[in-house]
């Protein structure tokens, strides 16, 4: 896939073929792509947890907030939940924050997932209790959970006008529509 196509195809997905497992090897390959990402001062303070175990998946799922713009939708139903997770952690011994690093690294993971026929969802809405649940050391802070699986929903990019709503929506056929601002609306003429 050409880079432009890969970027366009790398959309947030929230419904998966839960029964289609993702191997630890694949998760490690995706983390390896994150490892190669740019890093402020090259500190590389991000660490990762790779999880594909049914019991652990269930435990993680209960701590996640899904699709804030769809309050009537409680998140993916049993059978459509993620098959695996990559949890992005900040090693606070190495840096105090890593917001930019996290964006780059997580996008590398999602691009790599798309290239492998997978899809994912970055989830920042994570209950603080997950830290304890995962038995993490104090210096490791959960920044983001990336849910992964074989996609079960279609995602369409829609054009958002300058004043239009940027909230995504579902249609009854379970297609997810995600508005993006127009190029002309985001380039400021100097």
Ligand X SMILES: Cc1cc2nc3c(=O)[nH]c(=O)nc-3n(C[C@H](O)[C@H](O)[C@H](O)COP(=O)(O)O)c2cc1C
169 binds ligand X (CB under 6 A): no
To ligand X, the closest distance from the beta carbon of 123 in angstroms equals: 4
- The DSSP result for 85-138, as a single string, is EEEEEEETTT-S--HHHHHHHHHHHHHHHHHTT-EEEEE--B-THHHHHTT--T
In whole angstroms, the minimum distance from the beta carbon of 175 to ligand X comes to 13
The distance of closest approach from Cβ of residue 66 to ligand X in the complex, given in angstroms and rounded to an integer, is: 4
Per CB under 6 A, does 125 bind ligand X?
yes
- In angstroms, the Cα distances linking 37 to 24, 128, 132 are 20, 27, 28
- 20 in Cβ contact with 83 (< 8 Å): yes
**Is 124 one of the binding residues for ligand X (CB under 6 A)?**
yes
Q: Minimum distance from CB of 157 to ligand X (Å)?
A: 8
The tokens describing 123, both together, are 């989830």
Question: Across the chain, which distance is largest between two alpha carbons, in Å?
Answer: 54
Stretch that binds ligand X, among 20-28, 60-68, 129-137, 182-190 (CB under 6 A): 60-68
142 forms part of the interface with ligand X (CB under 6 A): no
Which listed range, 24-32, 39-47, 63-71, 82-90, lies at the site for ligand X (CB under 6 A)? 63-71
Q: Does 67 bind ligand X (CB under 6 A)?
A: yes
**List 29, 53, 61, 66, residue binding ligand X (CB under 6 A):** 66
85 binds ligand X (CB under 6 A): no
CA dist 15 and 108 (Å) reads 21
Q: Which of 27, 90, 123, 148 binds ligand X (CB under 6 A)?
A: 123
Question: Which of 147, 151, 152, 113 has its CA nearest to residue 33?
Answer: 113
């Amino acid at each position: 896939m050409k880079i432009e196509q890969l970027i366009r195809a790398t959309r947030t997905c929230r419904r998966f073929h839960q029964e289609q497992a993702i191997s630890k090897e694949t998760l490690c390959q995706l983390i390896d792509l994150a490892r190669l990402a740019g890093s402020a001062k090259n500190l590389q303070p991000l660490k990762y947890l790779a999880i594909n175990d049914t019991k652990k998946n269930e435990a993680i799922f209960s701590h996640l907030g899904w699709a804030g713009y769809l309050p009537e939708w409680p998140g993916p139903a049993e059978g459509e939940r993620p098959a695996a997770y990559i949890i992005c952690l900040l090693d606070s011994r190495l840096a105090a924050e890593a917001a930019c690093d996290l964006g780059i690294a997580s996008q590398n993971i999602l691009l790599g997932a798309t290239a492998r026929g997978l899809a994912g969802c970055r989830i920042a809405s994570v209950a603080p209790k997950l830290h304890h649940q995962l038995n993490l050391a104090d210096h490791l802070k959960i920044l983001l959970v990336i849910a992964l699986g074989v996609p079960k929903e279609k995602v369409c990019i829609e054009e958002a006008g300058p004043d239009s709503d940027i909230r995504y929506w579902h249609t009854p056929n379970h297609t997810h529509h995600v508005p993006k601002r127009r190029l002309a609306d985001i380039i400021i003429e100097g």
